[in-house]
Amino acid sequence: MAATVERLTTELVVPAEETPTESIWLSNLDLAARRGYTPTVYFYRTDNANPGTFFDADAVRDSLAKALVAFYPLAGRLGVDDATGRVQIDCTGEGAVFVTARSDHYTLDELLNEFVPCDAMRDLLVPPTPPPNPPSCPLLFAQVTRLRCGGVVLGLALHHSVVDARSAAHFVETWASIARCPTKSTGRDTPLPPCFDHKLLAARQTPMVLYDHPEYKAEPTPAAHAVTGKTYESAIITLSKSQVTSLKSRCAGASTFRAVVALVWQCACRARSLPDDAETRLYSMIDMRARLAPPLPPGYFGNAVIRTSALATVGEVVANPVGYAARRALAATSQGDDYARSLVDYLEGVDAMNLPRSGISRAHLRAISWMGMSLHDSDFGWGAPVFMGPALMYYSGFVYVMQAPGKDGAVALALSLEPESMPEFRKVFAEELARLEM
Q: What CA dihedral angle connects 25, 172, 373 and 88, to 10 degrees?
A: -10
Q: Which residues contact 377 (CB under 8 A, 6 or more apart)?
A: 384, 385, 405
Q: How many CB atoms lie within 10 A of CB 303?
A: 28
Q: Report the 10 Å Cβ neighbour count for 383.
A: 14
Specify burial of residue 20 (Cβ count, 10 A radius: 0-12, 13-18, 19+): exposed
The pairing of strands 365-369 and 279-287 is parallel
d(Cα 241, Cα 263) in Å, to the nearest integer? 15
| Selection from 133, 127, 168 nearest residue 35 by Cα | 133
CB 419 within 8 A of CB 233: yes
Strand ranges of the sheet holding 387-390, from the earlier edge strand across to the other edge: 6-13, 96-102, 140-146, 152-159, 37-44, 387-390
Distance CA 104, CA 239 (A): 32
Pairing of strands 96-102, 87-90: unpaired
Question: 343, 203 in Cβ contact below 8 A?
Answer: no
Look up 159 and say whether it is catalytic.
no
376 is catalytic: no
From 81, 109, 119, 379, the catalytic residue: 379
Q: Is 197 exposed, middle or buried (0-12, 13-18, 19+ CB in 10 A)?
A: middle
3-state DSSP percent of the chain in helix, strand and coil, to 5: 30, 25, 45
Of the residues 159, 160, 198, 376, which is catalytic?
160
Residue 414 near residue 208 (C-beta atoms within 8 A) = no
> How many angstroms separate the CA atoms of 101 and 119, rounded?
18
| Beta bridge partner(s), residue 154 | 42, 144
- Say how far apart CA 366 and CA 230 lie, in whole Å: 14
Closest CA to 282 of 330, 234, 338, 248: 330
Active site residues: 160, 379
